[in-house]
A and B are shown apart, each in its own frame.
Chain A
Amino acid sequence: AQTVTQSQPEMSVQEAETVTLSCTYDTSENNYYLFWYKQPPSRQMILVIRQEAYKQQNATENRFSVNFQKAAKSFSLKISDSQLGDTAMYFCAFMKQYGGSQGNLIFGKGTKLSVKP
């Protein structure tokens, strides 16, 4: 079975600074996808960034980038130039590419990020 661990329940950062959220996962699969979702107080889960395991290059979306270390099973999220609107719960998620239960997202417990003015 796959598991996703987010070891930082809460973090805070000053506006305009950079913050890194950690995520590790455990799987015996070789082909899979990893995601970071953001959930503001409105409850709407919003995709921040995704990474295909077969790609060595780290994904980047504007101020958001990941550090994907496949051998270490690590998938951290870096937020640059933090903005007040980045305040939210951040969830790391894993999805198998093949086999039973493919398509089902397995989530970590989340990290609550507060951006302070």
Chain B
Amino acid sequence: DLQLTQSPSFLSASVGDRVTITCRASQGISSYLAWYQQKPGKAPKLLIYAASTLQSGVPSRFSGSGSGTEFTLTISGLQPEDFAIYYCQQLSSYPPYTFGQGTKLEIK
């Protein structure tokens, strides 16, 4: 099965910072990648699909890039509500529709 590896697993940052999370695929997945945000006790929320397309209603401070095997999620100007866990997911080689292990973004 295709594997996704996110880095870092934990990230400490301050309000206003710019942060980047990386997701690496064990084989090429073109642009079939999504990013989700999950807050404690809540369901995941789709942020970005097709590697770089912002889901409707998601603030423009979120952006995604990459193709093939390396992808990034960038948050420009962290807001208090952005502290959460972020997951990437591949939708190229299935089943399974693999998720990354998650990146926990914490307040410094």
A and B form one complex? no
> Footprint of A on B, CB under 8 Å?
none
A residues lining the B interface (CB < 8 Å): none
